[in-house]
Amino acid sequence: MIFFEGTDVWTVAVIAGLTVVTFITRSFFFISSEEWTLPEWAQRGLQYAPIAALAAVVFPEVLMQQGHFMPTWMDARWVGALVGGAVYFWKRNVLLTILAGMMAYLPLHLLLAW
Amino acid sequence: MFLKAENYRHPAFMDGVRDAAPQATGVAAWGLMTGVAMMNSGMSVMESIAMTLFVYAGSSQLAAIPLIAAGAPAWVILATGFCVNLRFMVFSLHLRPYLMHLPRFERLMHGYLTADMSYILFTRRFAKPGSDSDEQQTQTAFLAGNTCIIWVSWMATSLFGIYLANIIPTAWGLGFAGTLCLVSIFCSLASTKMRFFTAGVAALTAIAAYQLPLKFNILLAIVVAVILSMSLERFRKTPQGYEA
């Protein structure tokens, strides 16, 4: 059965865990009927955690190659990400970001094998 | 929730659908690429479908995909997903007064279905929670219509992306579009100088500590960046209420 090919219990458990994470974070303040709120320091921390997490995932993903920091500048990923980021700040549109980033990335990746 | 008759029969439901329709194209592109990225990372068809249907959070899915592929410990993956999702906790705090009149189960379902786009559109349309039951009903129906179209376009395109990834070779590098989706959420969050600082610290720490086993560099980067940002914020505060 192609559907179950390569499926392992560990990954399924991680997916179940991530489902719980989505559910709890999205409905966190709807759970209790009591009037309450987070302490002030926690609310301030909440402002920074999401962008820290995204930066920690995105930058190594774009700039690292086999465990090394930019062994060569001839890498299509940082070019694509840079163009995508610039277009996002210019147009504020996810679709255009993806299209522009891919248009910078694909020729370098496919034609020059960067 | 959009499965409830008093929501989808309400005129504000279609209003919510129309309001979100232009944004649904961006969500569709993002969903498509998340579908492709899941398959390209080596997840099975069943795993990818389950992740699409249940996790329903593009940013935490895309953050989790490379960690799953690298075999990071489950708790590291869940903690990373949790941190990426912490922005939703801020949303639910804001939406609380709008939805507290509903029974708990319905509130929780509304919360689960309200992702970035729906939150932004809903709070843009309704600056204040409804003061009587008519207004509350209108707002709930609007939110239901809004989350409905976003949910449908995400699911349809993400499943299509899973199908597409079976035809298109991985070597073409279309999975990179998943990274570009993360880049756009990243840019949308980089709204203040302090957040740029947070992002810079997190990026440097994650790269400098890359050799740590089990992708611990990501957790370390989050902790260092949040602590440094919170302590720097303390110094920046002036009597005039200096805003970061």
Q: Taking all residues of chain B, what is their mean pLDDT, rounded to a whole number?
A: 87
- Tell me the shortest Cα–Cα distance from A73 to chain B, in angstroms: 16
Contact partners, residue A60, CB within 8 Å, separation at least 6 = B203, B206, B207, B210, B217
**pLDDT over threshold 90, residue A103:** yes
Which chain A residues have a beta carbon less than 8 Å from that of B165?
Answer: none
Of A12, A13, A21, the CB nearest to B60: A21
With CB atoms and an 8 Å threshold, state whether B207 touches A64: yes
CB B142 within 8 A of CB B134: no
Type of residue at A26: R
Q: Which tens digit of pLDDT belongs to each residue from B205-236?
A: 999 998 887 677 888 998 999 999 999 988 76
Query: How crowded is residue B191: how many other Cβ atoms within 10 Å of its Cβ?
Result: 10
**Predicted structure pTM score:** 0.79
Confidence of residue B41 (pLDDT cuts 50, 70, 90): confident
Q: Does A67 touch chain B (CB under 8 A)?
A: yes
Q: Which tens digit of pLDDT belongs to each residue from B60-94?
A: 998 899 899 988 899 999 999 998 888 888 888 88
Contact partners, residue B75, CB within 8 Å, separation at least 6 = none
Of B47, B180, B199, the CB nearest to A84: B180
With CB atoms and an 8 Å threshold, state whether A95 touches B26: yes
Q: Is B168 helix (H, G, I), strand (E, B) or coil?
A: coil
ipTM (interface predicted TM)? 0.83
Q: What's the rounded Cα separation, in Å, for the pair B152 and A51? A: 27
With CB atoms and an 8 Å threshold, state whether B59 touches A54: yes
Q: For chain B, which residues make up each domain, given as ranges?
A: 5-189, 191-244
With CB atoms and an 8 Å threshold, state whether B173 touches A3: no
Q: What's the rounded Cα separation, in Å, for the pair B189 and B68? A: 25
CB B189 within 8 A of CB A54: yes
CA dihedral B5, B10, B13, B15 (to 10 degrees): 170
- Write down how long chain B is: 244
Instruction: Report pLDDT for B58.
Output: 86
Distances in whole angstroms, Cα of residue B182 to Cα of each of A31, B25, B137, B175, B235: 29, 16, 35, 12, 31
Q: Which tens digit of pLDDT belongs to each residue from A26-75?
A: 999 999 888 777 788 887 887 888 889 889 989 998 998 877 888 888 88
Q: Give the residue from chain A lying closest to B50, CA to CA.
A: A15
**pLDDT over threshold 60, residue A1:** no
Instruction: Report pLDDT for B89.
Output: 86
Query: How crowded is residue B21: how many other Cβ atoms within 10 Å of its Cβ?
Result: 13
Which chain B residues have a beta carbon less than 8 Å from that of A80?
Answer: 176, 179-180
Q: Which tens digit of pLDDT belongs to each residue from B128-144?
A: 888 889 999 999 999 99
**pLDDT over threshold 70, residue B243:** no
Q: What's the rounded Cα separation, in Å, for the pair B23 and B25? A: 5
Instruction: Report pLDDT for A4.
Output: 64
Q: What percent of chain B is modeled with pLDDT above 90?
A: 43
Q: What's the rounded Cα separation, in Å, for the pair B78 and B13? A: 34
CB B69 within 8 A of CB A6: no
Q: Is B98 helix (H, G, I), strand (E, B) or coil?
A: helix
Query: How crowded is residue A46: how many other Cβ atoms within 10 Å of its Cβ?
Result: 17
Q: Does A76 touch chain B (CB under 8 A)?
A: yes
Type of residue at B167: I
Q: Which tens digit of pLDDT belongs to each residue from B185-194?
A: 889 888 889 9
